[in-house]
Chains A and B, each alone.
Chain A
Amino acid sequence: MEQIVIIGNGISGVTAARHIRKNSNKKITLVSAETKYFFSRTALMYVYMGHMKFEHTQPYENWFWKKNNIELKQGYVGKINTDDKILELTNGTSITYNKLIIATGSKPNKFGWPGQDLDGVMGMYHKQDLEKLEKYAPNNKACNRAVIVGGGLIGIELAEMLRSRDIPVTFLVREDSFWNGVLPAQESEMINKHIKEHHIDLRLSTNLKEIKSDENGRVRSVIIEETGEEIFCNLVGLTAGVTPNIDFLKDSKIDIKRGVLVNRFLETNVEGIYAIGDCAEQHEAIGQRRNIEAVWYTGRMMGEALAQTICNKKTEYNPGHWFNSAKFLDIEYQTYGWVFSERNKKENEAYFQWQHPTENKCITISFDKNTNQFLGINTFGIRMRHEIFDSWLTQEKSIEHVLEYLADANFDPEFYKLHEAEIVAKFNLENNANIQLKKKSWTRIFTKA
């Protein structure tokens, strides 16, 4: 029987395994050094914050794997012998395979800062990072201050985690406004303010120069490049993005660049070896997406697509319209289609923006200024219905259409205050238009386009 080995039990590896099992009775082995059972990486923060226990982050009960005949192996892959199709684990054992799926995910970026490997310096990615955090920052007595370097999604999550235990946090962000390489200025500024409201010492346009150690090789302080200021701390979080976790492939015959190079069928240059998830790199970008996308749902989709291919139904990885979501402390963020920040805005792209006068709610709709075609939406503090925006993007609706039917797209809980009327009024005023907001209609919402 064909033996499928999957390295990595994150969302991509596990999704692949589950879908292969749905469609076949091949032998499946999942190898992971991190944990025995699959868990939701994105939920690790809630374990530290005490919202959940670790077992709550596991989508399947422990009996699930045996029942579905998916073998779990704990171990770290040292080398791949592609000629004989053998995986060598660092503990001395080896596994043979017919087909191999590399789904090893990412690891935190380190940019060669002095002191970046000291005790108390960590990323926030693996389960082991959580354990380290409990060791170095169990409370504000053991950790008088933490410094976080890197202004992205993981950075702000780590800040939120530490604040939940009342640990003072200094947050160093290279950009002059939080995440403004991705977010339009309006949104970015709102988040800056919100971060400060949570008593996080946000330092914009600030770079790390070096991390200093005490006599035991533990973090003592960080030095800021611009001012030379020394900030004393017991923990440094490095959260300046992630890179594919593929060091073990360096001496193999598998082509790599930053990640494992794959085609649209997620095949590497070596037959029978595939790569999915964060560690996979497309030869050519798909649409406006990046070649490597470290996003939860793309990992899931690659797993789904590859499982079809492996079960003899060759399927291209074909991600649909871009979407994503995050939560910045208390502010929920969703995005559908493409909204580029001012910095990366395309020449034809224009914004329509609305912001609530007092609450943390705002939207940016980007559209083509020549054709008025709707390109994408960012919403903060307002939930939107994914299916509706997906179909509007497919049908290349105009921004006028989107605004007219905006009530259909609202996904906030019942009785929430609606702002569609204000939003449309603002658009009419700015553009000398006369759009009439349509009342929400179940028929439109649930009629598939």
Chain B
Amino acid sequence: MKLIKQIGLIVFLIGLLAFTSLIFIGKFNVTSEIFNSTIKNKGIKSEWFINSLKTKIVDKEFTGTFKLSSEITTSVETANKIHRKNKEWDKVIWDKPHSLSYQFIKAAGIGSIPENKGLYWFLTFGLGVIGALMFIVPNVIILGPPGIKNDGIFLEAATNRGWIGWFAFIFLVGFYILLYFYPDLIVNWVYLVDPISESLSGNSASQWFLYGFLYCTVMTVMAIRMYIKYRHNKYQILRTTSVLFFQIVFAFLIPEILVRFEKPWYDFKNAFPLDYDFFFKWNLEELLSSGTFGLFILVWGIVLTIVVVPVMVYFFGKRWYCSWVCGCGGLAETLGDPYRQLSSKTLLSWRVERIVIHSVLIFALVMTGFALYTFFSGASEVLGIKTQTIQDIYGFLIGSIFAGVIGTGFYPIFGNRVWCRFGCPLAAYLGFVQRFKSRFRITTNGGQCISCGNCSTYCEMGIDVRAYAQKGENIIRSSCVGCGVCSAVCPRGVLKLENGPEEGRINPTDILLGNDVDLMELVNKK
């Protein structure tokens, strides 16, 4: 069994190495045909750009994307500099340089990789998945009888901020930076999933399709790990199945199939304000121009946010969303599970958390207000601030850096819910409802608590669960996503997630169960 694991690890690393090395290889040739059609598609009017770039790249063979990318992006920048100086605004290229570069390069791949997508898919995704499963599945036997098995988590470099953790951190952060800001450097990855994308939506893949596919693959493999680790715990198994289902069907398949039927790409479970661009002008216009179906999406999106979310939180706590439905939560619960113990539980981080997450919520609401104002009024500014500027700042800071680079990249160092804890505006909104008007709580068998700290250690949201459990107090916290792991790891059966009557769910305790105090005296004292 251990041998299978070791071979699996090697196979996985080969797959990972193959995947990574794709960034550096491949041949590209921007033919004049590709060049002209891209220029035309993008409506580029800058002669300077067209002429200078033509001599540099057209009909030349490049190895790897770096040189080609830098030729294109420097040409964009130089051209723009000239046009801005000459105030030739119609000639300025407004596309982001690396997005434009992506358009050229994606079409220009030649040679082995674009011709053998299946083979390269197998060498990267295939080996990765096979290796990971060989590494994970033997745990059924190695872990012994079902039960909580966290042996060695704090002794291993991967799960205790050791060198493997730091390596994973750098790799993930690097991946997100490439994905969000340098898509033109990862076109070889995108080629791998072209056939899948074509079979789903009829279009060739974008970097976002790649990300969606990778997301689902990683979640599926790591969900299998969850199933094995928590196989004694039905709550964990159902929850994992649920997030996996919503990710694959709602976030991945349905939107792609909608595109096939020429409907707008839409993820029906993604509620505003997590779906922060829902009220942006371009989205509203797209929905309004897509007939009845677009209107349906528009109405659903609003109903989801203002009716479904609070009603569901009232009955089930925010867990119905955060750990049963949400894609970000889904990744955190599967890929992130090995890192959950790394989230900080200090009072300081709790303070920071409350300030930051509520600021993001306010930022999102203000931005949406701006967006709606400009949509209805037709003006592009509110109080002298450009709506577009606000949207760009939010998209960059929150949508890309926080949700992506930090949110997932930081898993191996800061725990798996960095984004959900500190950044997610929807989590803040759900949290308000959960804190003030919900039937959800974690009930505690306080007398039985031995203050061991397993619950707090394994709380991914950084809640000091023990502080409540050892007082016998129900846990009503806005940040709790109801993952149920505190209850699972408790060696004394102290904690239970419950949707009970709302009345009495907050129960400050004076004296813990077991000490038989004189009740009359206690009553008279109050």
Contacts and interface: CB of A to CB of B under 8 A. Distances in A.
A is bound by B: yes
B514 A383 contact: no
A56 B456 CA distance: 8
Contacts of A323: 447-448, 514
A29 B512 CA distance: 25
Nearest to A166: B151
A321 B513 CA distance: 9
Contact of A413 (B466, B484, B503): B484
Interface string A1-23: 00000000001000000000000
Interface stretch (B21-29, B75-83, B139-147, B387-395): B139-147
B437 to A, nearest CB: 17
A52 B454 contact: yes
B202 interface: no
Contacts of B513: 320, 386-387, 390
Interface in B114-171: 144-148, 150-156
Contacts of B341: 52
B448 A319 contact: no
A297 B487 contact: no
A53 interface: yes
A51 interface: yes
Q: Which one of B146, B153, B238, B450 has the greatest number of beta carbons of chain A within 10 Å?
A: B450
A404 interface: no
Contacts of B86: none
B500 A297 contact: no
Interface string B440-457: 000101111011111011
Contacts of B451: 11, 40, 42-43, 59, 296
B147 A325 contact: no
B397 interface: no
Given A50-B155, A411-B493, A59 B145 contact: no
A56 B492 contact: no
Contacts of A50: 150-156
B234 A416 contact: yes
A164 interface: yes
Interface stretch (A95-103, A104-112, A300-308, A345-353): A300-308
Contacts of B452: 40, 42-43, 46, 57
B512 A413 contact: no
Contacts of B235: 413-416
Contacts of B456: 56
B190 interface: no
Contact of B346 (A52, A61, A198, A413): A61
B492 A327 contact: yes
Nearest to B491: A327
Interface in A44-95: 46-47, 49-53, 56-59, 61
Interface in B225-248: 232-235, 238
A90 B234 CA distance: 55
Interface string B483-497: 010011101110011
A446 B512 contact: no
Q: Which one of B238, B451, B517 has the greatest number of beta carbons of chain A within 10 Å?
A: B451
A442 interface: yes
- Secondary structure class of chain B's binding surface, majority of residues: loop
Q: Which one of B148, B448, B484, B501 has the greatest number of beta carbons of chain A within 10 Å?
A: B448
> How many A residues are at the interface, by size bracket?
35 or more
A165 B151 CA distance: 8
A332 interface: yes
A247 interface: no
Contacts of A164: 151-152
A61 to B, nearest CB: 6
A332 B501 contact: no
B467 interface: yes
A415 B148 CA distance: 17
A320 B516 contact: yes
A61 B347 contact: yes
Interface in B479-526: 484, 487-489, 491-493, 496-498, 500-501, 503-504, 511-517
B447 A297 contact: yes
B152 A330 contact: no
A334 interface: yes
Contacts of A415: 234-235, 238
A38 B25 CA distance: 57
B501 to A, nearest CB: 5
Contacts of A305: 515
Interface string A297-319: 10011001100000000010011
Interface in A370-418: 383-387, 390, 411-417
A43 B489 CA distance: 12
Contacts of A242: none
Contacts of B470: 59
A40 B512 CA distance: 18
Nearest to A390: B513
A53 B453 CA distance: 10
Contacts of B146: 330
A61 B351 CA distance: 15
Interface in B172-210: none
Contact of A56 (B443, B448, B453, B496): B453
Contacts of A59: 451, 453, 466-467, 470
A445 interface: yes
A52 B453 contact: yes
A115 B128 CA distance: 54
Contact of A385 (B151, B445, B450, B484): B445
B493 A330 contact: no
B493 A325 contact: yes
Contact of B150 (A51, A198, A326): A51
Nearest to B346: A61
B312 to A, nearest CB: 16
A301 B515 contact: yes
Q: Which one of A49, A326, A414, A416 has the greatest number of beta carbons of chain B within 10 Å?
A: A414
Nearest to B452: A43
Interface in A148-191: 164-165
A315 to B, nearest CB: 8
A325 B347 contact: no
B504 to A, nearest CB: 6
Q: Which one of A51, A58, A334, A385 has the greatest number of beta carbons of chain B within 10 Å?
A: A51
A215 interface: no
Contacts of A417: 234
Contact of B493 (A318, A321, A332): A332
Interface string B46-70: 0000000000000000000000000
Contacts of A194: 145
A329 interface: yes
Given A57-B452, A415-B235, A304 B511 contact: yes
A197 interface: yes
Q: Which one of B145, B341, B515, B517 has the greatest number of beta carbons of chain A within 10 Å?
A: B515
B320 to A, nearest CB: 12
A256 to B, nearest CB: 25
A35 to B, nearest CB: 15
Given A315-B517, A414-B498, 18 more contacts: A43-B451, A43-B452, A46-B454, A49-B151, A50-B152, A50-B154, A51-B489, A61-B346, A61-B347, A164-B151, A297-B514, A304-B511, A320-B513, A321-B514, A327-B492, A329-B145, A386-B513, A413-B234
21 contacts: A43-B453, A46-B452, A49-B152, A50-B150, A50-B156, A52-B154, A61-B347, A164-B152, A297-B448, A330-B147, A332-B493, A384-B493, A385-B496, A386-B445, A386-B448, A413-B484, A414-B496, A414-B498, A416-B235, A442-B501, A446-B501
Interface of B: 144-148, 150-156, 232-235, 238, 341, 346-347, 443, 445-448, 450-454, 456-457, 466-467, 470, 484, 487-489, 491-493, 496-498, 500-501, 503-504, 511-517
Interface of A: 11, 40, 42-43, 46-47, 49-53, 56-59, 61, 164-165, 194, 197-198, 296-297, 300-301, 304-305, 315, 318-321, 323, 325-327, 329-330, 332, 334, 383-387, 390, 411-417, 442-443, 445-446
